[in-house]
Amino acid sequence: MDPAITSELSKFNDDIPFRATTNHTQSTWARTFHSSPELYIQPQSIAEVEKLVNLARRCRRRITTVGCGHSPSDITCTSSWLVNLDKFNKILSVDKEKCVVVMQSGIRLFAVGEELDKVGLAMPNLGSINDQSIAGAISTGTHGSTLKHGILSASILQLKIMLANGKMETCSPTQNAELFRAALISLGALGIIVEITFQAVPAFTLAWKQVVDTDLSMFNSWNKDLWTQTEFVRVWWFPYTRRSVVWTAEKTKLALRPPPKSYYDAWLGFHIYHNLLYAAQYVPRMLPWIEWFVFGMQYGFPNGSTTSAIQPSRQALLMNCLYSQFVNEWAIPLHKGPEALRRLSSWLNHLTPEDPDYVPHGIPYSADGLWVHAPVEVRVTETSNSTTPRPHLDPTCSEEATLYLNATLYRPYDMDPPCRARYYQGFEYLMRELGGRPHWAKNFDANGKDIEEMYGNKLLEWRKIRNDADPEGMFVGEWHRRYILGEGRKLALEEVEVGRKKIWKGGVLVMGEVEDDCGLSGSTSEESFDHLRESDVTVKG
């Protein structure tokens, strides 16, 4: 450890541990981004969090907080100090009658589910996985798929956050209300969330069913009962076969019934799809056939093929997200969904007016030679009627229900797919034309100016709250400057990117430095990455 840090540490004169290690490599779940923080710190108490924040301020370091690194972007990359709350993960109290749970913020959602289940409670809603930390999940606006619930942040009743001055603030709709709204989606740039009070619900079982059919039948039911037929509904759309799977789930008191076991589904299907995607890296025009084969094997070839099961909610709502991937997900008004998917279909399938599914796509980029992966995830959320405070940075629609479209591109054996740039260029053009805003955690290309236009005053209000809470930019890095902080003056502790390199086994190594007014501190030199070179990661020029 830098002797300057050891020297500052010795001045604290207390017995509060500072649990820091060096030589940590941080990677995103998808292994798309890697970084090498100067220190990796895993506090176990609020006193330890307070101490590390005070120490960082004295040592002029930037702090990044990471949950489990499931955000697909470089938002958690740092060469300065990386704080992880995996060991700050206890349920602190449960009020069974009111279904109110207080927890330390590093707890993972699967652990929340397990602990709540023991007392007959559950989370009201979940996304596709439950690996995330509760603080990480709310900080990027994580959502599931239901018109009966909002995003996960909507279940937060109160939170405690450690600010850059080392003081912990409690906030809720009635206490520090503006700080609360800013913290509900804070992108890690406001402080370290340490405690969360959560509105749970009585545990419930879901009877779910998935039916494969033409996408036309899905479009035809869009304005009837597609999204309202059951409490939870999600759709996977297959662009080339022009089919979709509609997954519906409703609460039930019936006995549990596990999903049917298929010889293909688990191990075999996983590896077949992976290897076919790998082959398509070299012969991309195979992708429509792969889509037909893989998803026919998985969901059934004839339209109307149905699978069903009855499971506890914390199992039923999850799905297997397969392999490393890029995900570009946008929130648009729900009523624009059929237009969005039809235009995307016309573009990807090169439809001509003779085709019954043809609509003019209006996307000013060529789809020639473009072949993409399936499925596109189609999900919904409803926040327009919410009585809970709306986060300033909430990407969902305030006037009507929200549709999320998620254009996933897999990275077979960690190789970037060749079509990424043009697919996402076309997809984002369409999403923006339909009034969309990107999911904060994902791999979008829209820039800071675009985001300013999309959020207007809400972004300015959020920036003011952030700047008041952290005037030196202790919680700010390159990602925040690029997308949400505008072109203002660099803050004293703000981390600036100094380079990035493609590394062997895929992904990008991101390097940064913190330079405050007094000179260089927390800086990154090539040597800082030596331990990466010595391990299994090779840095290429």
Ligand X SMILES: O=C1O[C@H](CO)C(O)=C1O
Ligand Y SMILES: Cc1cc2nc3c(=O)[nH]c(=O)nc-3n(C[C@H](O)[C@H](O)[C@H](O)COP(=O)(O)OP(=O)(O)OC[C@H]3O[C@@H](n4cnc5c(N)ncnc54)[C@H](O)[C@@H]3O)c2cc1C
Q: Locate 49 and state its tokens.
A: 């969090």
Rounded CA gap, 388 and 371, in Å?
A: 42
Window contacting ligand X (CB under 6 A); options: 323-331, 359-367, 428-436, 486-494: 323-331
Taken as a whole, the chain contains a residue count of 541
The residue from 59, 99, 137, 344 that contacts ligand Y (CB under 6 A) is 137
* Residue 474 interacting with ligand X (CB under 6 A): no
Window contacting ligand X (CB under 6 A); options: 166-174, 222-230, 319-327, 395-403: 319-327
Closest distance to ligand Y from the beta carbon of 132 (Å): 3
Dihedral (CA of 339, 341, 483, 187) sign:
positive
> What is the chain's Cα-based Rg?
23
The residue from 377, 470, 472, 494 that contacts ligand X (CB under 6 A) is 377
Window contacting ligand X (CB under 6 A); options: 210-218, 325-333, 421-429, 513-521: 325-333
Q: Locate 480 and state its tokens.
A: 């925040």
CA–CA distances in Å: residue 268 to residues 60, 262, 272, 417: 51, 10, 6, 22
CA–CA distances in Å: residue 498 to residues 263, 280, 443, 515, 526: 49, 35, 21, 11, 11
Q: Which does 67 bind (CB under 5 to 8 A by kind): ligand Y, ligand X, none?
A: ligand Y
Closest CA to 331 of 292, 366, 378, 387: 378
Closest CA to 73 of 533, 438, 514, 470: 438
Window contacting ligand X (CB under 6 A); options: 103-111, 166-174, 304-312, 322-330: 322-330
Rounded CA gap, 373 and 281, in Å?
A: 11
Concatenated DSSP letters for 318-370? -----S-EEEEEEEEEGGGHHHHHHHHHHHHTT--TTSTT-------S--TT-
* Residue 211 interacting with ligand X (CB under 6 A): no
The residue from 26, 42, 133, 298 that contacts ligand Y (CB under 6 A) is 133
Whose tokens are 């084969």? That residue is: 293
* Residue 321 interacting with ligand X (CB under 6 A): yes
The residue from 155, 406, 443, 521 that contacts ligand X (CB under 6 A) is 406
Which amino acid is present at 373?
Answer: H
Q: Which does 105 bind (CB under 5 to 8 A by kind): ligand Y, ligand X, none?
A: ligand Y
Decide whether 103 or 363 has the Cβ nearer to ligand Y.
Answer: 103
Give the x-and-dash track for 300-329 against ligand Y (CB under 6 A). Answer: ---------------------x--------
As a whole number of Å, the end-to-end CA separation of the chain is: 28
* Residue 70 interacting with ligand Y (CB under 6 A): yes
Strands (E), 38-112: 39-41, 63-66, 81-84, 91-95, 100-104
Rounded CA gap, 409 and 291, in Å?
A: 13
* Residue 514 interacting with ligand Y (CB under 6 A): no
Binders of ligand Y among residues 81 to 100 (CB under 6 A) are 85
Closest distance to ligand X from the beta carbon of 442 (Å): 6
Closest distance to ligand Y from the beta carbon of 415 (Å): 18
Number of residues engaging ligand X in binding (CB under 6 A): 9
CA 137 to chain centre: 7
The residue from 25, 44, 128, 386 that contacts ligand X (CB under 6 A) is 128
Residues of this chain that bind ligand X (CB under 6 A): 127-128, 321, 325, 327, 329, 377, 406, 408
Residues in touch with ligand Y (CB under 6 A): 29, 64-71, 75-76, 85, 105, 127-129, 132-133, 135-137, 139-140, 142-143, 186-188, 192-193, 321, 439, 441
